[in-house]
Amino acid sequence: MNENGDRMSIIVQTIASILFPLALIFSFYVIMHGHLTPGGGFQGGAIGASAVALLIVAFGAKYVEGKMEEENLSIFESLGGLVFVIVSILGFFLAATFLTNFLVGEPLFGIIPAWGEAPLNSGGVLPILNLAVGMKVIGGLASVVLILAIASKEGEK
């Protein structure tokens, strides 16, 4: 499987480097349209983490670890959890209870039509929560795969 170091062949590397931004764009699409179409934070985050897993399988764990350190992924994941908790507690202070949708009805957020297709900014606080869950899932699953690959590579020596 690994002829030169821990990389795969040049065909796999080229296809992976073409497919990686497309998979990230699709992941971001699924996350940002989570309140309108099927999908949401967890599904989009799993797609983004599988894009990182594609890079790890094609380029090897050491190269990916050099490009994105595991600490940065942990910081990214913790930032997602922090955004979720802060938005939830803001709902407690600005409106009635925990996780209240306090942005709906504002002029920039929450133009909800009576029927038919809703526009993208009709969710109020929900896209922010979906984005936070997506950041947490991408960071968590990608760091799981990266740590597993690095640990199995160090176990060989």
Q: Which residues contact other proteins (rule: CB under 8 A)?
A: 1-2, 30, 38-40, 42-43, 46-47, 49-50, 53-54, 56-57, 141, 144-145, 148-149, 152-153, 155-156
Whichever of 7 and 90 has its CB closer to other proteins, that residue is 7
Query: What is the closest distance, in whole angstroms, from the C-beta atom of residue 116 to other proteins in the complex?
Result: 20
Q: How far is the CB of 49 from other proteins (least distance, A)?
A: 6
Residue 77: CB minimum distance to other proteins, A: 15
Our CB check for other proteins shows the closer of 25 and 144 to be 144
Q: Which is nearer to other proteins, 106 or 154 (CB)?
A: 154
Nearer to other proteins (CB atom), residue 40 or residue 80: 40
Give residues with Cβ within 8 angstroms of 93, minimum separation 6: none
